[in-house]
Amino acid sequence: MSEQATITLLGAAGEVTGSCTLLDTPCGRVVVDFGLFQGSPEQEHRNLQVPEIDWPHVDGVIVTHAHVDHCGRLGMLPRLRCAAPIFATPPTADLLPRVLRSSASLQVLRHEEWRNGTTPIARVIDPPPEPGTNSKASSSEPPILYDAHDAMLAAETICPVEYNVWREIKPGLRFRFHDASHIIGSASVEVAFILNGKDKKVLFSGDLGPARSPLLRARELLPDVDVVLMESTNGARNFSASSSSADALRDVVKRVALRGGKILAPTFALGRAQTLLLRLADLSRSNQLHEMNVYLDSPMAIRASELCRRYPALLEPTLRSAVEAGNDPLHFAGLQHLFNRRQSLKLTKSAQLGIILAGSGFCDAGPVLHHLAALVADSRNALVFAGHQIVGLLGHSLLHHAKLIELKEGMFEVNAERVHLEGLSGHADQGDLVGWIGAREGGTPRVILNHGEQASRVSLSAAIQSALGLETELPDFMKNIRV
């Protein structure tokens, strides 16, 4: 431990994955998030480069939410001899064991497939990809970071902490969660400690949701703190209103139904799946699904939807009232849950019109791949994207430019219609981010931008300076920042 206080970005510095930040203070040492690097095989191998932290002497690990780019390396902690408690909000604490088990299983499966020569193919053929950016195009051995036993050991150290309740980690070192409205259970983290006899407060924004979420209650105001580490995923973008995306979804459903096709929505299980279900429920209740069934092909998404009913206080007020009255706003006539691969494969052979929500949202693994093989070449069908896509993965290419792709089942021309529902993003856009930092409770904090591509950080920095007159910092990976 230092007699000074320092912050070190050990991931998500000038990029959007691998979130991990060390806060080292005279009162104790805290790690905020420990997520996976995602993207190309080269990016995934960065997960083997363990941050140079004195892990056995970490006093607490705080998790902002259950997306794997923020929590996916927690299963490594037992092997690193880190026995510190993992603090999370109650919904995140519910999700984390399942997320870690799933991640461990996927790592082992990918390694076995590589060893047996059965690695799923998911890559772009035309136009030819840039070197190092094609999903599943590498022959390198996929890493196994931890196994199911490690995941279980890590899960045993998870400690649920309610929102807005100060929790002491050590004398002089405490934290509390603020609702970030990104996904169910997501939080910003305010850490307070003593430095040179004075109170200091640092806030880690985590992933921030939009100012008005159709699913979740409004995010909380930025409290009065000394330093803010702020995400910038969409720092260079401003989206249309959520209502415009709802209209776009309604329109594509109508178009596809009229031409006798199907819709495939590559879906992130935590967040986007629930927002899409909410919009589809609205269409169902207004008789605008055109007799198309909806298939949720993701056990994790099913679990996250259950949590929305379990924690109604975290929902948008109208939805909260519906749940408290005994209704389920995410369920509607024609919705079917698929729990296993057999059910999923059976669906690919069905001639019935339908809307399929399947993972992974990046189109790099999971049931979405065999659904793509069945649907992508038919111009009657549509691919609907409702989340951020990482450069280097198949989903990004399908959304933007892919003409010919290769999957396990063969080569396929991309003839399906492509639709991007930007307004359903779970990340705040530039205007929302500027609004969040501008509506703070008081004081003028030092602002550090992370969790965004460099162009997004630069654009958001300029927007904050122009609108609020605040200077921002854009530190590099591994740089120590004195508080």
325-333: list long-range contacts, CB under 8 Å, 24+ apart.
329/278, 329/281, 330/274, 330/277, 330/278, 330/281, 330/305, 331/281, 332/280, 332/281, 332/284, 332/285, 332/294, 333/284
Q: Is the pLDDT of residue 200 over 70?
A: yes
Q: Is the pLDDT of residue 134 over 70?
A: no
Distance CA 171, CA 159 (A): 18
Calculate the CA 18 to chain-centre distance.
11
Distance CA 481, CA 142 (A): 33
Q: Is the pLDDT of residue 1 over 70?
A: no
Calculate the CA 305 to chain-centre distance.
15
Distance CA 192, CA 446 (A): 15
- Closest residue by Cα to residue 275 from 385, 161, 436, 135: 385
pLDDT single digits (tens) 422-456: 888 899 999 999 999 999 888 899 999 999 999 99
Q: What are phi and psi of 385, to 5 degrees?
A: -105, 130
Q: In what order do the strands lie in the sheet with 173-179?
A: 167-170, 173-179, 187-195, 198-204, 227-231, 446-450, 472-473
Low-confidence winner among 9-18, 286-295, 434-443 (lowest mean pLDDT): 434-443
Query: Furthest-apart CA pair in the chain: how many Å?
Result: 70
- Strands 382-385 and 263-266 turn out to be parallel
Percent of the chain topping pLDDT 90: 86
- Closest residue by Cα to residue 276 from 263, 287, 286, 260: 263
Across 457-472, average pLDDT:
97
Q: Count Cα atoms within 13 angstroms, Cβ side, for 120.
A: 17
Q: Is the pLDDT of residue 467 over 50?
A: yes
Please report which confidence band the pLDDT of residue 390 belongs to, taking 50, 70 and 90 as the band edges: confident
Specify the CATH architecture of the domain 242-424: 3-Layer(aba) Sandwich (3.40)
Average pLDDT of every residue of the chain: 94
Contact between residue 200 and residue 85 where contact means Cβ atoms under 8 Å apart: no
Contact between residue 17 and residue 11 where contact means Cβ atoms under 8 Å apart: yes
pLDDT single digits (tens) 241-255: 666 888 999 999 999
Q: Where are the domains of the chain?
A: 6-119+138-237+429-482, 242-424
Count of other CB atoms within 10 angstroms of residue 476: 9
Distance CA 254, CA 281 (A): 15
Q: Quick one: pLDDT at residue 133?
A: 54
Across 343-352, average pLDDT:
92
Q: Quick one: 6-119+138-237+429-482 is in which CATH superfamily?
A: Ribonuclease Z/Hydroxyacylglutathione hydrolase-like (3.60.15.10)
Q: Quick one: pLDDT at residue 39?
A: 84
Which residue did the predictor score with more confidence, 39 or 297? Answer: 297
Across 282-293, average pLDDT:
96
Across 290-307, average pLDDT:
96
Whole-structure pTM value: 0.94
